[in-house]
Amino acid sequence: MRALLVSLALLLGSALAQATDGLPVYSFKVVNTYPHDPQAFTEGLFYAGGFLYEGTGLNGRSELRKVELQTGRVVQRRTLDPKYFGEGIALFQGRFYQMTWQNGIGFLYDASFNPVGSFRYETEGWGLTTDGKTLIQSDGSATLYFRDANFKVLKTLTVTAEGKPVEKLNELEYIRGKIYANVWETNRIAIINPSNGKVEAWLDLSGLALLVNNPDPNAVLNGIAYDAASDRLWVTGKLWPYIFEIKVVGR
């Protein structure tokens, strides 16, 4: 089954990539597939120390998780109070950051997921990543916020493609000096220059969404993780049963 998924996704990825907005559009090759909790409403994802870390959403189902890649087994978790809808996560300066959607509060944890503090912000909370120097946050608009360890805004950046704002920026990952951003309710990832906010290319993952074929309208692409040491890239979606390791084609 895994080999069949890889073959089908490769064919779909190659066939569906096409030019848009005059910018390059990359396709993908599936390297491997791994199990993913199909009940996980994925809002944040990253890789560190041999594990995936995942933030899930929905009131009453929001968690911070440490996940075994090969099996999808959750080896550690921290559950949020049901009044909070969990969103993006990041590991920055030795602490785990987890945002909430509309509560205006985020939470800090140590390596064992013990609470060590909280932080406030005025925007909605969507995606979160780090370039190693700052935290980078999305709020569902075309704006990215660069923040310090106390979540104070250092600068903002408007993301544009061919001069037009790119709205609905969601889950984020910092990869090779670029910001990769899921665009909510689409099968595209924007590859953004962090110095000027310009989208330099699109990554079209329509083939994966077709392969997952979940009729739930909430089961959208959302989740990017990267291992810089081995140059491995993983993507998934809300309520998807798989995490896909992919190679970008055409870059």
| Inter-CA distances, 16 with 187, 208, 228, Å | 11, 10, 27
Percentage of residues of the chain with pLDDT beyond 90? 86
| pLDDT value at residue 227 | 97
C-alpha to C-alpha distance for 232 and 246, rounded to whole angstroms: 8
Q: Which is more confidently placed, 150 or 2?
A: 150
**Residue of 107, 108, 102 lying closest to 83 (CA atoms):** 102
Task: State the average pLDDT over residues 24-51.
Answer: 96
Of residues 193 and 1, the one with the higher pLDDT is 193
- The pLDDT-based confidence of 209 (bands split at 50, 70, 90) is confident
Of residues 247, 243, 246, 248, the one with CA closest to residue 51: 243
How many Å apart are CA 104 and CA 35, to the nearest integer?
A: 32
To the nearest whole number, what is the mean pLDDT of the chain?
92
**Spatial separation of the C-alpha atoms in residues 127 and 107, rounded to whole Å:** 14
Question: Is 117 a residue whose pLDDT tops 70?
Answer: yes
- The pLDDT of residue 32: 95
pLDDT of the residue at 250 = 82
What does the H/E/C string look like for the chain? CHHHHHHHHHHHHHHHCCCECCECEEEEEEEEEEECCCCCCEEEEEEECCEEEEEECCCCCCEEEEECCCCCCEEEEEECCCCCCEEEEEEECCEEEEEECCCCEEEEECCCCCEEEEEECCCCCCCEEECCCCEEEECCCCEEEEECCCCCEEEEEECEECCEECCCEEEEEEECCEEEEEECCCCEEEEECCCCCEEEEEEECHHHHHHHCCCCCCCCEEEEEEECCCCEEEEEECCCCEEEEEEEECC
Position 78 pLDDT exceeds 80: yes
Nearest to 88 by CA among 207, 194, 206, 174: 174
- Give residue 215's pLDDT band: very low, low, confident or very high (50, 70, 90): confident
- Domains detected in the chain: 2-249 (2.120.10.30)
Q: What is the pLDDT of residue 21?
A: 61
User: What is the structure's pLDDT at 19?
Assistant: 46
Q: How confident is the model at residue 135 (pLDDT cuts 50, 70, 90)?
A: very high
Determine the average pLDDT of the residues in 122-146: 98
Q: What is the pTM of this model?
A: 0.91
Mean of pLDDT values over 175-191: 96
